[in-house]
Structure 1
Amino acid sequence: MKKYTILIFLLLLITLSSTAQNKSKKPDMPWDNGKLKVSDNKRYLQHENGTPFFWLGETAWLLPSRSNREEVDYFMNATKNNGYNVVQISVLHTVSAINAYGDWALPDGFDFRNIDKRGEYNYWQHVDYIVERARQSGIYIGIVCVWGTPVQQKQMTVEDARKYGKFLAERYKKYPNIVWLIGGDIRGDVEPEVWQALATTIRGMDPDHLMTFHPRGRTISSTWFNNEPWLDFNMFQSGHRRYNQRNGDGDYPIEENTEEDNWRFAGRSLAVSPLKPVIDGEPSYEDIPHGLHDVNERRWQAEDVRRYAYWSVFAGSFGHTYGHNSTMQMLRPGYQPSFGAEKPWWEAVNDPGCREMKYLKNLILAFPFFERIPDQSVIVGANGLQYERVIATRGNDYILVYNYTNRKVEIDMTKISGAKKKAWWYSPVNGSVEYIGEFGNGRQVFAHDSEYRAGNDRVLIITDADTSYVEENLMTVNSQQ
């Protein structure tokens, strides 16, 4: 009897230990936390179990048409190592799209009944491979269904859009790592019936994946589709122009000399009712000419892509998408480069701006996520214009301030809880944290003891002295990378 009691006791201990380990074990993949959804406050994305999702996107529009399987493997590994959790691709960049294996996307037009033939590895099976390979890496795929140009050229009718949407939804709704991007660098009032047919067809067959619209430069999806039930969150494309650069592609529906102020788009979108989350889905790409079209122009650098990222997120965006001139077109020897791109994409994924984006994600996830709001009242006195603009965001007991030029800035620390405050400098370049000191409540002037210049950017972190977000979260995760 005693042996039997001991055996039961040991089995109970093993069961309790196993249960505790299962509870403490983190999910292997993001979607193990449940599907993505809009947060209750309509500002962010989260998983069904409440886990925050900070969208950090990499742009690889031509991955389906310009990559083989080995290159997909390399790209996904590099993208995961760089901290990205979303890749934006264009699966039908042209109606006559053909991939690296010589397979056509639409061999029978928009008739997909015989698209998969026994023994063939076709265009869409290669797209399947990309989605599956991303799934194995814990990465979401933002699928631009068709680029705007062929639609604008009337190469897709409303009926074509319905057939195509049905094909896409049936093929990809089974994957947990899909986000639908209707549009593709186009205004929503260009062939709107086609976009509506595509979106409503996919949503009717796949209600479980989020959907948005990827618009033309300097425009926001909320302009046309904010009231549409299929639009879960808004996307804007701040574009590739510098201040006062009026020439180039597309329309110019923004204020004078504000071309680089992507923070304006975030605020504008969040002011529209009904409130929906917003993101900059295409800011200036690293190593692309200012304004795109003149290859002799200056190129956007790492400091520029950092500025776009922090400005947008601190102004209220729920994440950010980065891009590189070479990677977005998957440039490699044998392909004609666009926009003056020079290096192959496998070198571009090691460029500074590409590797530095993860420090923004680490920063935001180190603090209470859903309570964070943009709050410029934290900054005392007049703010600067253009590169002098300082952007602030805060929660109940923390403040984050992005300063691109390292100019002196006065902060009202009474905006958060705590009789005493602690402050740090955070580097967007390498994620390092530098302790400043402890302060009483009130106003305090801050400036890093390095030079004043554009691109000498830092984030000022201020917390209630009783918190330990920086020590327990931020320092830990950055030390592991």
Structure 2
Amino acid sequence: MAKIPVFRIIFLLIIQYHLAGQFPLQLSPNHRFLVDADNQPFLIKEFSAWGLIQALSEPDEAAFLDSIKLRGFNTVLVSVISNATSQMGGNPPDWQGIPPFQVEWDFSTPNELYFQHVDHFLALAREKGFLVLLVPCYLGYFTDASQGWWDEVRSANNSPENMRSYGEFLGRRYKDTPNIIWVAGGDNDAKDIDEPYLQNLIAGMRSSDNQHLWTGHFDNTSGTFWSTDNPRYRKYIDIDGLYVWKEISLGDRGPHYRTELAQYGKGKMIFQLDMSYEHDVPHYADNENPQWIRRKMYNGLLSGCAGTSFSSGTLENQCYWFKKWQPLMNTPGMQLVNHCFKLFDALPWHQLIPDTNEQIVVTGRGTFGWLDYACAAKASDDSFYVIYIPTGRTLYFNLHAMSESVMRMHWYNPRTGQFIRIGHAGHDSHFGVVTPDDDDWVLIFDGIPDWQLPG
């Protein structure tokens, strides 16, 4: 066996120590984004991996995290317990034959062996630098008994009091685990008959853990798109997540950027939670059209979102099944998402403020509320400006309104991850730009001292 050089081992240990040390995260002073333990901005780059804790062996979990880390992700969305036999890999709700509860469907009887595995996963994720958006209990769509725990929660073996006991157990056990943000719900509004169960679960958790942040993932088919759209749990929400399966379902609140800008105006941190599933059913443009996936992702990050999300797949295989996940690490969708991460990781993205007036982009922006509208954002110190142009066109800019300085200009191709240097521009009230072709492009005006193009 080949020996690994000592210097490389030391380097890897230093990197792992640094990544683990970035937690806990907290809200920035202006409550717009997350910062780590060193007060550095943390952009949520989430992979939706619902059944990961339950589906894979511990070595495979480590391999999966390593793989998505190489592709730019720093966050996973998972459930502590999974019970969606039609979707998750393995044999839910067991992990490697170990059930989560000692008594079937009695949430007050957690199985120590199962939760030792949960402990291991959370420690592993922290070591590798991953934030875990952690669902205490994925409830699932109440119309489908094969998805989630909603029907087992209602079973004769369980009760709201048992859910509180489960919540107290989770709160005590994970109150000092620094790389967690709790997620209420899971495709379910938990209303009417189900509300006492989730309310007691959350109350039990918060009785001994009032330090972790919370977001919510509810039933977007009922119009509960934002975490704070659910009035029953709004008081718990620190970070407002947007969960939309079909953009058209937003109705008058859409497209995505329209509702994101409106929510950004309310002052709470927002992010795209559990958004695009490559080639997932039903096969709407949201999951099938690469330009739609790019458009929603770039528009969101330019419309106030402090994070985005993705899950890879093919027409025959979805990553959240965890049956054949390795081939899904190099799909076209994974590549385009990595291109997006590369750009925003290279920018001081936390300084971006959405540009919604008509002072900078004079003409060519498109119609607000339509899919062809070009979303843009400007740095709070006027040092850079970014605009995502969804289709080829000519635009005119008032550079006086953008910055008093001369700016460098760069095209960024979101399809290939390649930059094209254009030159310099400034002090022009009617500056015209033509996209290189008819596809989507990102245009960056850069006045950042010593900024280097990534790659």
Change (3 A) 1:291 1:52: same
Aligned equivalent of 1:222: 228
SS at match of 1:394: strand
Aligned equivalent of 1:202: 205
Q: 1:278 aligns with which of 270, 285, 294?
A: 270
Contact 1:283-1:308 at 8 Å conserved across structures: no
Change (3 A) 1:253 1:113: same
Aligned equivalent of 2:51: 62
Contact 2:302-2:352 at 8 Å conserved across structures: no
Whole-Å Cα distance in 1 between the matches of residues 24 and 280 of structure 2?
A: 35
Contact 2:101-2:110 at 8 Å conserved across structures: no
State the structure with more CA Rg: 1
Change (3 A) 1:423 1:157: farther
Q: 2:386 aligns with which of 392, 396, 400?
A: 400
String of CA shifts for 1:423-456, please: whole Å, max 9, x gaps: 1011223432211111122232222222x1xxx3
Aligned equivalent of 2:100: 105
AA of the residue aligned to 2:185: G
Q: 1:459 aligns with which of 442, 452, 455?
A: 442
**Displacement, 1:131?**
1.6
**Displacement, 1:196?**
3.0
Change (3 A) 1:124 1:27: closer
Contact 1:303-1:353 at 8 Å conserved across structures: no
String of CA shifts for 1:218-248, please: whole Å, max 9, x gaps: 5111123598553211112121x364xxxxx
Change (3 A) 1:443 1:27: farther
Change (3 A) 1:114 1:30: closer
Q: 2:25 aligns with which of 36, 42, 46?
A: 36
Contact 1:423-1:460 at 8 Å conserved across structures: yes
Contact 2:108-2:163 at 8 Å conserved across structures: no
Aligned equivalent of 1:3: none
SS at match of 1:29: helix
Change (3 A) 1:29 1:196: farther
AA of the residue aligned to 1:99: D
Aligned equivalent of 1:336: none
SS at match of 1:307: helix
Aligned equivalent of 1:339: none
Contact 1:67-1:99 at 8 Å conserved across structures: no
Whole-Å Cα distance in 2 between the matches of residues 405 and 103 of structure 1?
A: 52
**Displacement, 1:264?**
2.4
String of CA shifts for 1:237-293, please: whole Å, max 9, x gaps: 121x364xxxxxxxx56328x4xx221231232233xx210111122311113457x
Whole-Å Cα distance in 2 between the matches of residues 215 and 170 of structure 1?
A: 25
Q: 2:64 aligns with which of 75, 98, 102?
A: 75
Whole-Å Cα distance in 2 between the matches of residues 422 and 61 of structure 1?
A: 42
**Displacement, 1:194?**
3.1
Aligned equivalent of 1:20: none
Whole-Å Cα distance in 2 between the matches of residues 208 and 152 of structure 1?
A: 27
Pair 1:360 & 2:366 matched = no
**Displacement, 1:421?**
2.1
In the TM superposition, 1:108-257 aligns within 5 A as 108=103, 109-110=105-106, 115-116=111-112, 122-149=113-140, 150=148, 152-153=150-151, 155=154, 157-187=159-189, 189=191, 191-217=194-220, 219-225=225-231, 228-239=234-245, 241=246, 243=248, 252=249, 254-255=251-252
Whole-Å Cα distance in 2 between the matches of residues 125 and 227 of structure 1?
A: 29
Whole-Å Cα distance in 2 between the matches of residues 306 and 171 of structure 1?
A: 39
Q: How many residues align?
A: 410
Whole-Å Cα distance in 1 between the matches of residues 163 and 108 of structure 2?
A: 12
Whole-Å Cα distance in 2 between the matches of residues 123 and 327 of structure 1?
A: 25
Q: 1:379 aligns with which of 352, 361, 378?
A: 361
Contact 2:240-2:269 at 8 Å conserved across structures: yes
> Which stretch has the larger CA shift, 91-100 or 417-426?
91-100
Change (3 A) 1:79 1:447: same
SS at match of 2:188: coil
Whole-Å Cα distance in 2 between the matches of residues 148 and 63 of structure 1?
A: 16
Whole-Å Cα distance in 2 between the matches of residues 242 and 370 of structure 1?
A: 26
Structure 2 unmatched ranges of 5 or more: 1-13, 86-91, 141-147
**TM-score normalised according to structure 2 size:** 0.81
AA of the residue aligned to 1:266: E
Pair 1:440 & 2:422 matched = no
Whole-Å Cα distance in 1 between the matches of residues 415 and 124 of structure 2?
A: 29
Structure 1 unmatched ranges of 5 or more: 1-24, 117-121, 244-251, 333-343
Whole-Å Cα distance in 2 between the matches of residues 135 and 298 of structure 1?
A: 32
| RMSD (CA atoms) | 2.9
String of CA shifts for 1:309-363, please: whole Å, max 9, x gaps: 111111110111112244552342xxxxxxxxxxx22111211222332333343
Whole-Å Cα distance in 2 between the matches of residues 438 and 98 of structure 1?
A: 58
| Percent of pairs with identical residues | 22
Aligned equivalent of 1:9: none
Whole-Å Cα distance in 2 between the matches of residues 460 and 113 of structure 1?
A: 56
Whole-Å Cα distance in 1 between the matches of residues 124 and 200 of structure 2?
A: 29
SS at match of 1:353: helix
Q: 1:421 aligns with which of 407, 418, 421?
A: 407
SS at match of 1:104: coil
Contact 1:86-1:142 at 8 Å conserved across structures: yes
AA of the residue aligned to 1:448: T
Change (3 A) 1:328 1:186: farther
Whole-Å Cα distance in 2 between the matches of residues 174 and 363 of structure 1?
A: 34
Change (3 A) 1:380 1:227: farther
**Displacement, 1:393?**
0.9
**Displacement, 1:137?**
1.2
SS at match of 1:388: coil
Contact 1:164-1:198 at 8 Å conserved across structures: yes
Contact 1:400-1:459 at 8 Å conserved across structures: yes
Change (3 A) 1:237 1:328: farther
AA of the residue aligned to 1:436: I
SS at match of 2:442: strand
**Displacement, 1:298?**
9.6
Q: 1:266 aligns with which of 236, 260, 278?
A: 260
Aligned equivalent of 2:4: none
AA of the residue aligned to 2:385: I
Change (3 A) 1:422 1:95: closer
Q: 1:92 aligns with which of 72, 81, 87?
A: 81
